Amino acid sequence: MCGIAGAVSFVEDMREDMKIYENMQHALLRRGPDQRGMFMSREAALIHTRLAVIDIDGGRQPMSFGKYTIIYNGELYNTEELRSELCGDFGFDTRSDTEVVLKSYIKWGSSCVEHFNGIFAFAVYDRQESRVFLARDRIGVKPLFYHDTGKKLIFASELPALLEHTDVPREIDEHGAAELLLIAPGRTPGCGVLRGVEEVRPGWCGYYSAEGLHLWEYWRLKAYELHESFEQTAERVRELVFDSIRRQLTSDVPVCTFLSGGLDSSLISSVAASELKKQGRRLSTFSVDYRDNDKYFQKSRFQPDSDPEYITCMAEYLGTDHHWVVVDTPELMAALDEATEARGLPGMADVDASLLLLCREIKKYGTVALSGECADEIFGGYPWYRDKDIRMTDGFPWAQSTAYRKRFLCDDFAERIDAEDYVYSAYRNTADSAERLSSDTPLESRMREMTELNFKWFMQTLLDRKDRMSMYSGLEVRVPFCDYRIAEYLYNVPWEYKDYMGREKGLLREAMKEWLPEKVLWRKKSPYPKTHNPAFLEAVTAKLRSILDRGECRLTGLVKREELERLLRHEDRVQWYGQLMNLPQTIAFFIQLDHWLEHFDIKPRLS
């Protein structure tokens, strides 16, 4: 796991910007605190910072072989199979997956990505052909942003590193304003929010050469007929999930797991504990809670019960070395700014901040952690999959607040943005892109749309959050449910199977029932925990009040002051995003937006 960055041009000498490259590398040190390296030529500057996980001594980067040089951020889970397949063509000097990726590219060219099972973003420079190959993993776990000036391509794992290059504009136009106020903390696929900044999309790759940048989609969810009984399907799910978890336990450094007491993290922890026990090792598990949450917790439709009793149940059931990280309001407030800097954008407020604090503590014990993200998107766990009214609503099911959100756009931007059209067009384009079969019933067709929407939008927001908050402390987080084989298969499993016994993720529960105690196996879904302490609402209200009272601020160059004042009066309690962003988180989002504008020196600019 690493940070990568670079600049490529076939008309300018890349060696003249050394100080800029050093600044870009410095901005990535949190992602890769163990080693750093740089490759320089007239055409290309390739920058790397490394978090050493596999073959600590042998996996240094940039790595060259013949005319090729690679910088790579990721982890392959089929490294050994690929090395065996390639050994007839190449010798290997290291045990690292970086060397396998490089030699896979040399053998197969751009189609190498079709051979990989893993999470990755990488660049390979071919100095003989004068071109660079860029690629990102199928699911989008690892990030890769870029800016094309017309004369050079600048790229980086994170926006803060990209912004260190002086040719990247620190500006947002009306498109960026629409993303921040109508879509955030989500992002339109491929959008980097800043003017002229884009992101290589999940499952895309391509070349940059003197002819320019040409990217294409190499993978997407495909529809096919599945003729299997429920029992056969459950067996296949069991095989895929177990194999994915087992593969992702490979590491030369300590591995641990997140444990929320919910189905997904509990399953991963159970399999991981079993596998480590075979090696005579004990699994370490980690959970987050909030000071006085037991006092203030109020159950809701989305969060029917709190986590601690289920976490305790699982930790005792598995016999793990369990660690609690208890967060109080002052810590959350202090971490809001750090979380913004880590994400490179305003995000999910205290939900981001608490994860950042949790990852910081986990890093004290291990370098690799497994997490349960993406099971809900793939197995249909969210309420909007199962509520008949919500799932048939024409629009993003997690964000039905466009009319409310557009009120915050200041007049200059509001005049140029058709809010309803911006959001609805984005929704419709994605829903219409879902691949279907002519034999699909209306329900199956809609559920394919729901999967595509969640896969390309909501899931990406959570993956952004997990990558940035963890890598900010040099912690690698792996997500076994993001194995593309699981996603491909489940896209074609009938909804009635996924909804087994009328329960969210009923198929997954049945398939893995031998791995969990009944109490946890059939626990109703509960989202990532957030603080219920009223002190947090008081604190964010006071903080935003102080921002507005300081006079001129960049926030009010983008957001209407009168709407922020209204927000501070707590007159509206509109769900901002998903299940977790209510009034306190909406206020905190604007605090993060203000810090982002100031910290990164971002200026609103009408095009």
HSE-up (13 A, CA, CB side) for residue 458? 26
Three-state DSSP class for 36? strand
Contact by Cβ (8 Å): 389, 508: no
- Other Cβ atoms within 10 Å of 134 Cβ, number: 22
The DSSP letter of residue 523 is P
| β-pair type (152-156, 204-209) | unpaired
DSSP states along 445-509: HHHHHHHHHIIIIIHHHHHHHHHHHHHTTT-EEE-GGG-HHHHHHHTTS-HHHHTGGG-TTHHHH
177 is written with which tokens? 């304003």
Per DSSP, the residues of 376-401 read HHHHT-SHHHH-HHHHTSSS-TT---
Displacement of CA 339 from its chain's centroid (Å): 14
Please tell me the distance from the alpha carbon of residue 392 to that of residue 307, in angstroms, as a whole number. 31
Contacts of 606 (CB under 8 A, 6+ apart): 173, 174, 412, 413, 416
Instruction: Quote the tokens at residue 41.
Output: 């030529």
Spatial separation of the C-alpha atoms in residues 37 and 47, rounded to whole Å: 6
Our answer to whether residue 2 is catalytic in this structure is yes
* DSSP β-bridge partners for residue 209: 212
Q: Positive or negative, the Cα torsion across 81, 87, 90, 92?
A: positive
CA dist 502 and 514 (Å) reads 20
DSSP per-residue codes, 177-239: HHIIIIITTS--TTB-SSTTEEEPPTTEEEEEETTEEEEEE------------HHHHHHHHHH
Catalytic residue among 2, 191, 374, 482: 2
294-310 burial by CB neighbour count: b if 16+ within 10 A, else e?
A: eeebeeeeebeebbbeb
Beta pairing partners, 325: 288
Give dist(CA 428, CA 393) in Å, integer: 12
Cβ-in-10-Å burial (0-12, 13-18, 19+) of 279 comes to exposed
Query: CA dist 335 to 350, 399, 474, Å?
Result: 8, 25, 17
Structure tokens of 98?
Answer: 């970086």
Alpha-carbon dihedral sign for residues 470, 125, 193, 399: negative
Catalytic residues: 2
